[in-house]
Amino acid sequence: MALKVYGAARTRTVRTLWMMGELGMPYEHVPITTQDGANLKPDFVALNPTGRVPAIDDGGFVLSESMAINLYLAKTYGGALYPATPQGEARAWQWSFWAVTEIDKTIIDWALHSSVLPEAERDPKRARTARLEMERPLHTLDQTLARVPWLVEDRFTVADLNAASVMYRALWMDLDDKPHARDWLHRCWDRPAARAARTMRE
Amino acid sequence: MALKVYGAARTRTVRTLWMMGELGMPYEHVPITTQDGANLKPDFVALNPTGRVPAIDDGGFVLSESMAINLYLAKTYGGALYPATPQGEARAWQWSFWAVTEIDKTIIDWALHSSVLPEAERDPKRARTARLEMERPLHTLDQTLARVPWLVEDRFTVADLNAASVMYRALWMDLDDKPHARDWLHRCWDRPAARAARTMRE
């Protein structure tokens, strides 16, 4: 039975669809949305108690949380997509948690109030506050990528995929004063698997 | 050279101090605070570019993000504190990300506006909103712990430590309608290493 990926591409599931593309494995996509509450229907909650997407079902093993799913997929099926050393692995965890704690909610707030919402509903002050909150983490990222092309070891790994996937909205952010972070972000999202996931989303 | 733990016990560093207690390893504690900006001083940022606490220095390997640090410590030095199977490991990641995405910021908001701030500065509406946002994740946790005593495999692991440590403030939350989550939370925080970390904090 093929691995199942639950969640519509326009949700955080895009992160896992990108990973599936990198793996080149066959899978079944069940595009559950959150907007109509399908994620909270009894049959989905019975399968995935968190009721969140993305979730995967790998031969009966059901997992949620996009970052955890991608780490699991990379480690189980991804070969060089997963770091080779214990330190590299810990660093991939660090960047994945960094993306969630420092970027995830803030960048959505920035995107909503700078471009996504209808103009009349945007609050420019919230957009500015969100952008300001991201200044320090973006600086950290840029400084790191000034020294190395990828976040962990010497190649694209799940660390890059997880961090860049959370930063999707930053593709439209002026990052000219963070050129290393900007170039890395575009390098990640220019990968064929990323482009394919993005096409599913848009 | 002993492993170094950076961060005052009253910050999220308490999570890592708890882990160090579980490991029973000697370590050096450098109680950097965030309130006086010591975490942003050049010497600390040179060591730990994120400028965040907790951070550890394990023989020159510097790592930040409390959840990632605890996973690394458990896997490297913790024996049975780290899950034994790939599925158990992925589940420990899931609960660690769950704690950060579903609980961390919300529970601090709840605590601030229900008890921590001076009474005149509290916004009861924010406390209520925060508690409401936690209802679904707490329900998920309670349902899970109705079936098993620990989150992963059949013993206390880093999954329990990470999730319970993020939920510290819930020790003061009325969880009588979530008895399994409540009892688990107290079972975790009643461990000697947790009590010791809490004493350092309070």
Residues A72 and A100 in one domain: no
Q: Are the beta carbons of A93 and B97 separated by less than 8 Å?
A: no
The answer to whether residues A107 and A173 belong to one domain is: yes
Q: Is residue B202 part of a domain?
A: no
Residues A17 and A43 in one domain: yes
Q: How many domains does chain A have?
A: 2
Query: Of B48, B64, B80, which closes a domain?
Result: B80
Is A125 contained in some domain?
yes
For residue A63, give how far its alpha carbon lies from the nearest alpha carbon of chain B (Å): 7
Domain extent, residue A47, equals 3-80
Q: What is the pLDDT of residue B34?
A: 82
Residue A23's H or E segment, with its range, is: helix A13-23
Q: Which two tokens stand for residue B39?
A: 């975490």
| A201 within some domain | no
CA distance B91 to B151: 8
Q: Is the pLDDT of residue B143 over 80?
A: yes
Domain endpoint, select from A63, A80, A97: A80
Percent of chain B at pLDDT > 90 equals 89
Here the ipTM equals 0.96
What's the burial of A31, exposed, middle or buried (CB within 10 Å: 0-12/13-18/19+)? middle
Lowest mean pLDDT among A102-116, A170-184, B24-38, B151-165: B24-38
Of A14-23, B42-51, B105-114, B178-187, give the lowest mean pLDDT range: B42-51
- Non-local CB neighbours of B5 within 8 Å, separated by 6+ positions: B13, B16, B17, B20, B27, B28, B29, B30, B54, B55, B56
Give the other-Cβ count within 10 Å of B198's Cβ: 16
B101 and A96 within 8 Å at the Cβ level: the answer is no
% pLDDT > 90, chain A? 89
Q: Are strands A55-58 and A3-6 parallel, antiparallel or unpaired?
A: antiparallel
**Among the three residues B80, B99, B133, which one is the final residue of a domain in this structure?**
B80
**B45 and B90 part of one domain:** no
Q: Are residues B141 and B55 in the same domain?
A: no
**Structural domain contains residue A200:** no
DSSP state of B64: E
Q: What is the CATH number of the domain that holds A126?
A: 1.20.1050.10
Span B106-125, average pLDDT: 95
Q: Which residue has the higher pLDDT, A1 or B143?
A: B143
Reported as a single tens digit per residue, the pLDDT across A52-70 is: 999 999 999 999 999 999 9
Q: Do A93 and B65 touch (CB under 8 A)?
A: yes
Nearest by CB: A94 against B63, B75, B137? B63
Among the residue ranges A81-90, A99-108, B1-10, B28-37, the one predicted with the least confidence is B28-37
Residue A31 shares a structural domain with residue A130: no
**pLDDT given for residue B145 in this prediction:** 97
Judge if B167 and B141 occupy the same domain.
yes
Look at residue A31 in the predicted model and tell me its pLDDT: 93
- Does one domain contain both B174 and B76? no
Question: Does B144 reach chain A within 8 Å, measured CB to CB?
Answer: yes
DSSP codes joined into one string, B122-133: --HHHHHHHHHH
> A99 and A164: one domain?
yes
Q: Which of A11, A89, A101 is the best residue to mutate to test the B interface, defined by the most B CB atoms within 10 Å of its own CB?
A: A101
Is B201 a member of any domain?
no
* Cis-peptide, bond into residue B149, ω within 30° of zero: no
Neighbours of B154 (CB within 10 A): 9
**pLDDT above 80: residue A144:** yes
Q: Using CA atoms, how far apart are residues A137 and A94, in angstroms rounded to an integer? A: 13
Query: Is B50 found in the same domain as B94?
Result: no
| Residues within 8 A of A (CB atoms), B 71-90 only | 71-72, 75-76, 86-87, 89-90
Residues A69-93: pLDDT tens digits?
A: 999 999 999 999 999 999 999 999 9
Residues B75 and B108 in one domain: no
CB contact B199 to A (< 8 Å): no
Q: Does some domain include residue B200?
A: no
User: Are residues B63 and B108 located together in one domain of the fold?
Assistant: no
A64, A89, A137 member nearest B94 (Cβ): A64
Average of pLDDT values for A140-156?
96
In angstroms, the CA B27 to CA B63 distance is: 15
